[in-house]
Structure 1
Amino acid sequence: MAKLDFLPTEDLLEAMPKAFHRVPGLSLERVRSELDRLMLEPAVAKGLDVLVQSRLAECSCRVVENGVAQEVPILPELYHLVNLPQEKDFHEFDGWYHTLAVVSHTEPDLTLRWGALLHDVAKGMPAVRAVINGRLTDRGHDTLGAEMTETLLTRLGYPKSFVRRVAWIVKNHMRFHYFVQNGEANEKKWIRKEARSGEFRDSQIMRIAWEQLSKVCAADVLGCGKPYASTDGTLAFGECMADLSLEMPIHTKDLNYDERVIKLAGKKVGEGLQYLLGQVQNGVIPNEPDALYDALDHKLRRPVEK
């Protein structure tokens, strides 16, 4: 269906549950492989729709650990989105069809499509769904959704780095939208926060993460179904954050120091570089050789406080 872009007949859909008793015999590895194939297909939305609405996603497969077989739920977290009402001022579709629309607007990449599929996974949950001033709200669905994302992708056996990246996208998609819509928001402060979070190993990895987040958020805008929706501001802000991330060192290896700093620091190289990293991340000094040398020289010349 997802590959050839067609929908099954009603008879086929009605007959599917009769074969669900076979699903528990499938290995987790096989199921994960099939999910990956589905997520990269051209008509991914149709495949996901059948997977969820047939209730196949609520079945379990199996994994053997230490000689003991265990049941692993596939994707039961998704079904509650079906027919989930959303605030009409912002969304034309229910929670599930909005999700499918967002997935459809992403390119065939596993990180992007899982991020799109799970970006609103926590909407409608009792901990976040509320009615405020007559409007439906899901405040905090980004944070809870990130927790749910980490749980379900870990359960499905995805690598930790992949799980963390998708969860990061889910956690930050609403903040990203806020920054796009509020020009006075301090994007450099956000960059510094992420740089110090320990989430990224270097600036280049953080740059890629911003690009991925902006693509999912652009798909989110289009997936709301509103006419004349524009992603220009979303993509432009993503480019801005990607560029800023290259100016923001994550690790001491990202500092543009030269041999003068090494000679000056002597046996305290590690301590000195950590100091310079903090100074650059906090915007006190630029990440330039002369500025780094002068800052360390000034620090080492200061009298030690007793």
Structure 2
Amino acid sequence: MTIPTYKKIDPTSREKKVWDDIECLEYEFTHGKTTFNCPKVVPAGAEDDFCLPEDCPERIPQKKFPSANTSLPPKEFEEVRECIETANELLLALALGMDDEVDDGAEEELEEGRKRALQLSLRSLREQLVTVHFSCKGKKEKISGCFMDAGLDFIILENAETKNITVLPTARVLSIQFDDEEEAVARENEQELLTINPCLRRNLTFHFGEVVTKSPFLLNLFFGLNLKMFLDSYLGYYCYVKTDVDEYELDGTLEMVKDNFMSIGKYGEKFGIDYDVVCVIELEE
């Protein structure tokens, strides 16, 4: 299976999709999107919001009343929910920051938890114009662009100058500057799958594994992608790679990606590059 790639987007755009899903999923994400909600009363004969098959037995129209999930007033319930989320984030940070001696398996699990927690925090910057300061060859450098997304160990920008996709390993990032803090907070609390096609909502409910594994957007949303998995999407693309060890920027066609290194080719020559020495990867068609 070939994992699809990102669409390039205008950094000033707020409405375009970040991911270019495979054809059927792209149609389901973009066609007939409606906001999922739980009204107090659903009138008889209301429009189907779950993509029910046409051959289902005939249903007798009747009102539906969702069960309440709290006895608190809406405003008070929202305050309690936010407090619980804040407490959970604090507990997670404390758990991941413990320095107690653990075996290799537990340490690896903790490291994955740290990466996932950082990824979820960085994803609140999506679609914002940012300036990223990063380290390379012992120097501090910067790059500006539209923050497209974050994976487990990398972030993705659309370069403000070249309009190409720029990938930076998270370990290289020193700081990220952005203007709209309120929007970042709002995005941190948003539920991304509220506005999807009813048929996609139904497929996620009954065929979760099959649907999620076909979409890099959903994989990253539910589990997080690492750099190797992301670069798999760009095999055959032309790329520019800046490293700690090479005097000049390397460029060529991305020919192979492994867990620890990538390989690019140009004029019949191949160059293997370890992820540990990568500062920036810029990808173009």
After TM superposition, the score normalised by the length of structure 1 is 0.24
Max radius of gyration: which structure? 1
* Greater helix content: 1
- Structure with greater contact order relative to length (CA < 8 Å, sep ≥ 6): 2
* Greater strand content: 2
